[in-house]
Amino acid sequence: MGRGQGKGRPGGKGQGGENRPENVGNKQQGENRPQGGNRPQGGRGPPGVGIFSLNGEDDPTLLSTIELASQPTMAVVNGIINAVYHNHTRDEKTGVPQLVMSTSSDGTSWTEAKLVTISGLPSDINVTINPTLSSDGQYLYFTGSSGKNLKESGSAIYVAKYDGGASFSGATKAFSMDGAVMIDSAVANGFMIVPHTNKGSKNKDSESDDDVMIPTVARKLLRRKPGKGPRRGSDSAYLASCSTPSTCTFVKNITMPASESRNSFVGSMLFQNGVYEFYGSGQGPWPVTSSNAEEWLPAENGVKLMAKDPSVIVFNGAKIAATPVKHSRPSTDDVPEEPVQNNPVLV
């Protein structure tokens, strides 16, 4: 796993129960769409991460995919792209998907995933999710918690220093707010943006309390029917100022510019030519921009990227995005003799 272009699994059915991938986006339309039991049973394969070029294109161009991956974050270190993400192997103690790292010299082919190690975590923190690499790749921010149900156990944003390979050390708390559940973080040029929900709150859009483990806002946003307003908590976030990578203090609440298809601060942030750029969840167009990270406006020339918690970097002068995708796979009624190529679609 964790390589570039992947191959499909012939004839595999989607997993049942709680782990079955959601069937969202790019559905067959029109009169020819099979109905009920006549629909092919192959369905969508396990999700992965798509790597897209954003430069000078009306639509993002797919460069590669990383299989069995979710919640990616990228940074360039010494000319190499480091990507940290969750794979689909769950930790034996916590049941939370593991953090792993792959690297690439060009964005089209990726090394096999290596398990990320984080030393120095407090003894009561056994869940590390929602990773965010600093723009230089020297720090890894993540949501830390004592249990996977963040609404009950609480959470904070932690940070660890990059040691090379897939190792990070000196983990310490960087930001927290009493009574708040940290969903994600985005960091650039001394500022941190933290979308959040309230500890112990019940979100009627959630399928279960455990949904908060993965950015619920991002996932539910993409299932929102036209004409409905933003999901609760999706269009606002905490803004914190960071005097050091591990010392971030609350500044104010910030709000995403109103839009039917661009209203979530679950994503990533860049700082270029004196301007902050934020790429969040939803169709876009992205980015929204700010001169001070406090007031945000849509960019004049944006790109539509139907994304969930995307990570955007500048690599060799071009913008590259990583965001979850899902793969089509063949029906069990017509199993090919040879594996077929996955067909990534944005979700």
pLDDT above 60 (res 153): yes
Does the pTM of the predicted model rise above 0.85?
no
Cα separation, 280 vs 262, in Å, equals 7
Highest mean pLDDT among 93-102, 117-126, 244-253, 318-327: 244-253
Query: What pLDDT score does 295 carry?
Result: 95
Query: Which CATH number goes with the domain that contains 321?
Result: 2.120.10
Band the pLDDT of 127: cuts 50, 70, 90.
confident
Preceding amide of 10 cis, omega within 30: no
pLDDT above 80 (res 199): no
Query: What pLDDT score does 179 carry?
Result: 81
Mean per-residue pLDDT for 107-125?
93
**Tokens representing residue 288 in the block:** 């929204």
Residue 25 maps to a domain: no
Residue 177 maps to a domain: yes
Cα separation, 237 vs 252, in Å, equals 9
Vertex 175: Cα angle to 116 and 170 (nearest 5): 40
Query: What pLDDT score does 111 carry?
Result: 96
Residue 24 maps to a domain: no
- Structure-model confidence comparison of residues 93 and 247, the more confident one: 247
**Tokens representing residue 2 in the block:** 């964790």
CB of 192 closer than 8 Å to CB of 174: yes
Residue 305 maps to a domain: yes
Cα separation, 15 vs 163, in Å, equals 37
Residue 12 maps to a domain: no
- Structure-model confidence comparison of residues 146 and 86, the more confident one: 86
CB of 173 closer than 8 Å to CB of 144: yes
Cα separation, 282 vs 217, in Å, equals 10
Q: What is the dihedral of CA 214, 219, 65, 337, to 10 degrees?
A: 100
Band the pLDDT of 263: cuts 50, 70, 90.
low
DSSP string, 87-106: EEEEPTTT-PEEEEEEEESS
Residue found under tokens 């029917």: 225
Residue 279 maps to a domain: yes
Mean per-residue pLDDT for 67-79?
95
Mean per-residue pLDDT for 114-135?
92
pLDDT in tens, 1-56: 444 444 444 444 344 444 433 433 333 344 444 343 333 334 455 679 999 998 76
CA end-to-end span of the chain, whole Å?
A: 21
Domain enclosing residue 143, as ranges: 38-219+232-346
Cα separation, 13 vs 20, in Å, equals 10
Domain count, the chain: 1
Query: What pLDDT score does 133 carry?
Result: 98
**Tokens representing residue 320 in the block:** 């590259």
Query: What pLDDT score does 205 carry?
Result: 37
Mean per-residue pLDDT for 66-77?
94
Cα separation, 113 vs 307, in Å, equals 23
Band the pLDDT of 222: cuts 50, 70, 90.
very low
Q: Across the chain, what does the average pLDDT equal?
A: 76
Of 311, 336, 117, whose CA–CA distance to 215 is shortest?
Answer: 311
pLDDT above 60 (res 328): no
pLDDT in tens, 156-196: 999 999 999 999 999 999 999 988 888 899 999 999 999 98
Q: Is 82 exposed, middle or buried (0-12, 13-18, 19+ CB in 10 A)?
A: buried
- Structure-model confidence comparison of residues 223 and 241, the more confident one: 241
Query: What pLDDT score does 147 carry?
Result: 76
Of 318, 309, 332, whose CA–CA distance to 69 is shortest?
Answer: 309
Indicate the length of the chain as a whole number.
347
CB of 73 closer than 8 Å to CB of 84: yes
Band the pLDDT of 293: cuts 50, 70, 90.
very high
Determine phi and psi for 211, rounding to 5 degrees. -60, -25
Query: What pLDDT score does 274 carry?
Result: 96
DSSP string, 32-79: TS--GGGS-S--B---EEEEEE-TT-SS-EEEEEESSEEEEEEEEETT
Band the pLDDT of 82: cuts 50, 70, 90.
very high
Beta-bridged to residue 104, according to DSSP, are 81
Residue 225 maps to a domain: no
- Structure-model confidence comparison of residues 146 and 159, the more confident one: 159
Query: What pLDDT score does 339 carry?
Result: 34
DSSP string, 219-250: HHHTTPPTT--PPTTSSEEEEEEEEETTEEEE
- Structure-model confidence comparison of residues 44 and 114, the more confident one: 114
Other C-beta atoms lying within 10 Å of the C-beta of residue 74: 26
Query: What pLDDT score does 301 carry?
Result: 83
Query: What pLDDT score does 57 carry?
Result: 52
Half-sphere exposure of 101 (CA within 13 A, CB side): 23
Residue 96 maps to a domain: yes
pLDDT above 90 (res 238): yes
- Structure-model confidence comparison of residues 210 and 166, the more confident one: 166
Query: What pLDDT score does 143 carry?
Result: 93
What's the alpha-carbon Rg for the chain, to the nearest Å?
A: 19
